[in-house]
Amino acid sequence: MKNVHHIEPTLSHYACMIDMFGHAGLMEDAYNFIKSMPIEPDVIVWSSLLSSCRVHKNVDLAKVADAKLLLIDPNNSGAYLALANTFSACGKWEVSNKIRKLKKVQELSESGSVVTGFKMRVVTLNFYLEEENIKDNSKKLEIIGFWTRS
């Protein structure tokens, strides 16, 4: 596109590619494409991947997309619901219900009555660590590093 038509790809172009990979069920290709993007992925890119994960029942990649999406926009209701729906689609009802409860806690935090946005990220991170049954501290630090990377 750049060499032939002299058009610099924008985030919209990249988001369309992620959407096409997702529709085709090429989830790993979509994720690899995101990792190779020369510009920082935005909410639309991660939302597109998360939505495709639900359709194709890819829980592992959905967790990654959700984590990245919540780093960019911690108040994104759709991120919680899409992840919960992905778990539901895979028959993991208990996990889906936990995520929905996290969303309710977040709604309370938005009203200022429970926790701040930072604490909400900690609650969400602890949920992921618990869900993955991660006990090894070095692994926790690796995941926390992933969550804090921009």
pLDDT one-digit tens code per residue, 35-78? 999 999 999 999 999 999 999 999 889 888 888 888 888 777 78
Question: What are the Cα distances from residue 112, in Å, to 12, 66, 103?
Answer: 34, 23, 14
What CATH number is attached to the domain comprising 49? Answer: 1.25.40
Instruction: Please give the pLDDT value at position 145.
Output: 45
Please give the biggest Cα pair distance in the chain: 55
Query: What's the structural domain count of the chain?
Result: 1
Give the residue-averaged pLDDT of 12-29: 95
C-alpha closest to that of 53 among 34, 39, 71? 34
Tokens matching residue 88: 């539901």
Percentage above 70 pLDDT, the chain: 68
User: Which domain does 41 fall in, by range?
Assistant: 2-148
Six token digits for residue 126: 């602890």
**Token code pair at residue 99:** 């995520």
